[in-house]
Amino acid sequence: MPRAPAQPAPLASGNLGLNSDRLRQAMVQRLRTQGIVDERVLNAMAAVPRHLFVDEALASRAYEDAALPIGHSQTISQPWVVARMIAAVCEDRAPARVLEVGAGCGYQAAVLAQIVREVHAIERIRGLYELARGHLRALRLATRVRLIHGDGMLGVPGVAPFDAIVVAAAGLAIPQALLDQLAPGGRLIAPEGSTHQRLVLIERTGATAWSRKELEAVRFVPLRAGIQS
């Protein structure tokens, strides 16, 4: 396994102040008990103030292991799911270029930016794209995350290949365009299914070959094509 980098410096905590630091550390300890062992991922989760990515009325719940609404009928994924997905694509490797499909409010991209040198995050809903952009700018991460308003099912072919792709919405099948944008040996993780969903971890093993492993049952919003202004 790659050596864990130095622990990222915590980003500005905002209104919850020192209390948020305590709640964040408690969240990290809970993630440990839930099986997250990659110190890079745990350090990244500890560094990013999740409460700044949700509505102020929900800030007190930000460090619960729960998905929370962010508007536009979308949610911020629960901390365990974020950590699990990132840990899966980073296990035994250090991806340099990562694509996130479904940036939402920007939280997962902010966590990825603590680990990965080059993060590209795509969001189809204009309102959420603007929300994520504001959050990333406020935390001085705008230069570390390239945020794109576009159709996530198409990926970003002009930037590909990616060492890892993290998909934060569930389709009935993984779009072929995303599989094609994986680098050789690259990994993609995504929820798959409709009523019953499961995380699927895919690794590119050849020019036209991919391996597939089914992981835990999850619940995500649906993956949709096109963009929404």
Q: Which residues are catalytic?
A: 77
Provide the strand spans (E) within 47-92. Answer: 68-71, 74-76
Helices assigned H by DSSP within 104-182: 107-113, 126-138, 176-180
Token pair of 92 as six digits: 């035994």
5 membership: H or E segment, kind and range: none
Q: Say how far apart CA 100 and CA 122 lie, in whole Å.
A: 6
Q: Say how far apart CA 215 and CA 90 lie, in whole Å.
A: 15
DSSP 207: T
